[in-house]
Amino acid sequence: MSRDAAAKRAAFRALHAEGCFVVPNPWDLGSLRRLERRGFRALATTSSGSAWSLGREDGELTLDETLAHVALLAAATDLPLNADFENGFADDPDGVARNVALAVRTGVAGLSIEDRARRGALYDDDVAVRRVAAAREAIARSGEDVLLVARCEAFLADREDLDFAIARLRAYAGAGADCVYAPGIERLADAARIVDAVAPVPVNVLLHTPWTTVDELARAGVRRVSVGGALAKAAWKAFDAAADALAQRGTLPGA
């Protein structure tokens, strides 16, 4: 049995107090074990990676499937686990609160909430902020020290407007988010602007392409760095290459 949830939550919150750390994203127990062996101090689930492992696309897993997946990984490791909880599997704040309460029971140390419908549009400003506040209230009612991460999906929803994203992240911080980020940014200057705008709230940056390094992000004041489905994508790309070689040439790539 892994270290108890309270200890992992305390360790996770401490990681957000200073410095910069990497929180890579396993998608099953095998990838989790491989990441543990490399000395990372925390992990996070990936909605895309977990979906691909079941032969589906990102956003196609149900609430129950996601809760079961998160619970499995949280119980299997002594490291704090952050749940990619998509949009909370609800559009209305009450639904978000209800589902966040369920996520807290899985033993996660943190969870993230997105501000757009699954595979859909961004929520209106007021609704988006009330959803974050509802998630915060649900965690408070649970009595558990689960870290709340609020995501602005603007750059992934074809609205590449940094001022808009910053305004939302500041509002989410005001609504109780412990950490914020806008996945999809690819400029160090943008990361630094976000850090300055929401300080002292910690900022996460998604490193999904080789546009920068962890060291550069750390110098920009970023507190944590995640990779989303990038590791899963790399694993499947290598699998496809090996399978293609076997099917087309009757051989396998060298080790």
Tens digit of each residue's pLDDT (9 = 90 or more) over 22-40: 999 999 999 999 999 999 9
The amino acid at 55:
G
pLDDT at 155: 96
Is the CB of residue 180 less than 8 Å from the CB of residue 203? yes
Collapsing DSSP to helix, strand or coil, 251 comes out as coil
Say how far apart CA 220 and CA 203 lie, in whole Å.
10
Share of the chain above pLDDT 90, in %: 93
What digits encode the pLDDT tens for the residues 124-182?
Answer: 999 999 999 999 999 999 999 999 999 999 999 999 999 999 999 999 999 999 999 99
pLDDT tens-digit readout, 7-19: 999 999 999 999 9
Provide the whole-model pTM: 0.94
110 pLDDT exceeds 70? yes
Would you say residue 57 has pLDDT above 50? Answer: yes
Domain 5-249 indexed as CATH 2.30.42.10? no
Q: Give pLDDT tens digits for 185-233.
A: 999 999 999 999 999 999 999 998 899 999 999 999 999 999 999 999 9
122-132 core/surface letters (b: 16 or more CB in 10 A; e: else) = bbeeeebbbbb
Ordered by start, the domain boundaries in the chain are: 5-249
Report how far apart, in Å, the C-alpha atoms of 78 and of each of 29, 73, 91 are: 13, 10, 33
> 180: part of which helix (H) or strand (E)?
strand 179-181
User: What pLDDT does residue 1 have?
Assistant: 33
Question: pLDDT-derived band of residue 255, with 50, 70 and 90 as boundaries?
Answer: low
Please give the residue that has the higher pLDDT: either 254 or 54.
54
Q: Does residue 72 have a pLDDT over 60?
A: yes
